[in-house]
């Protein structure tokens, strides 16, 4: 979360002249609502189910760059799909930098907590 997956993904796709997909944006386009709304009505588990289905679909596409949500790797099935169908790039970022990048972002339901630092660290 906040490591730069979408930003770097777009740049990489442009450099490679291939389409770019963001799994979170694809979910929003499919459902017609934003991620915080999905979390509100379905909880994190409901969102993760939708995310897994979207990753299943997107990893079937060839010649793309895909940015997933930061929590996508929490599910073994997502990790398997990503490993089997692509090349994975891990972006590492300090907690301080993530806090700086996300402090004004209201679209991150996992950070709507009294202690965002603790959530990021976990």
- CA-to-CA separations, 52 to 1, 24, 60, 84, in angstroms, rounded: 17, 11, 13, 15
At residue 13, does pLDDT exceed 90? yes
Say what the pLDDT of residue 70 is: 86
For residue 8, give both structure tokens.
Answer: 């770097």
At residue 57, does pLDDT exceed 90? yes
**Ranges of each domain in the chain:** 5-121
At residue 17, does pLDDT exceed 90? yes
CATH for 5-121?
3.40.50.300
At residue 87, does pLDDT exceed 80? yes
Average pLDDT over residues 87-97: 91
Say what the pLDDT of residue 2 is: 81
pTM of the full structure:
0.83
SS3 74: helix
């Amino acid at each position: 979360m906040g490591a730069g997956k979408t930003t770097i993904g777009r740049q990489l796709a442009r450099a490679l002249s291939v389409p770019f997909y963001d799994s979170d944006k694809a979910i929003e386009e499919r459902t017609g609502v934003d991620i915080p709304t999905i979390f509100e009505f379905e909880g994190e588990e409901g969102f993760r189910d939708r995310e897994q289905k979207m990753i299943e679909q997107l990893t079937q596409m060839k010649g793309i760059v895909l940015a997933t949500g930061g929590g996508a790797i929490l599910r073994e099935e997502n990790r398997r799909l990503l490993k089997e169908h692509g090349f994975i790039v891990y972006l590492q970022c300090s907690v301080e930098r993530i806090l700086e990048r996300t402090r004004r972002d209201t679209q991150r339901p996992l950070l709507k907590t009294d202690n965002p630092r603790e959530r990021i660290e976990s």
